[in-house]
Structure 1
Amino acid sequence: MIEPKSSFPVFTVKDLDAAKSFYAENFGFDVVFSGDWYIHLVSKSGVQIGFLLPDQPTQPPIFQRPYSGEGVIFSLEVDNADAALTVAKSKSLNIVLELRSEDWGQRHFCIQDPNGVYIDIVQSFEPTEEYRKNYVTE
């Protein structure tokens, strides 16, 4: 078995500076690596994310295409989705899904960053009885 010790997504994007500014200003991420072709950010709680420029000759071809904006959701869990939405609106962030509560135990809304990455801002709560049975508890 392979036993991971941490995880982080890496998005191949066209604008590293926009990514760096967006995540630092809106989520408090700090830059821990900043090169001409890659940046790595870490939040105070330890959430990590990386951004890579497309067409880097040091990278294999499978890592060279820019992110298309489809098929990936980067979720960030918060204590209070309502408060996070207030902040998002005050900063005029691009809200692409309005705040809603889901029966499976999430209150969330979604924004899109300057490179097209969808960020689902999620607050967990107790799911309805219908969904509670789907959760594995020991």
Structure 2
Amino acid sequence: MSVRRVVPDIQSDALEESRDFYGLLGFEEVMNLGWVITLASPTNPTAQLIFMTEDKTAPVAPDLSIEVDDVDAVYEAVLADGAEIVRTLQNEAWGVRRFFVKDPNGKVVNVLGHTGRASEGQG
């Protein structure tokens, strides 16, 4: 299993203001679903920030997102370890397959893999 990127998920009611502020630092908007936006560096696309008002498809908003190359294998590994699953493994309309798990600190981690079937942008 390999990690492709790690992204902080920041809850915010100021999505546009955050986009504009971090734009001053070189980030560009690469996804906007209205309730969640992703900003990325145009020269290093794995350098990203996510801002969301809430997670519209999950019971809680995650604290961070980790993209892996085989989300199904990671899901099986955390299940076997007895970790607390907050949201089961599911496909999303915007082209990701993901689940939420709590880490030992109580932080909610969104573990995802891209499915290549994005209908609304990237995630």
TM-score, normalised with respect to structure 1: 0.43
Q: Choose between structure 1 and 2 for higher RCO, CA contacts under 8 A separated by at least 6 residues.
A: 2
TM-score, normalised with respect to structure 2: 0.47
Bigger Rg, which one: 1
Q: Which has the higher helix share?
A: 1
Q: Which has the higher strand share?
A: 2
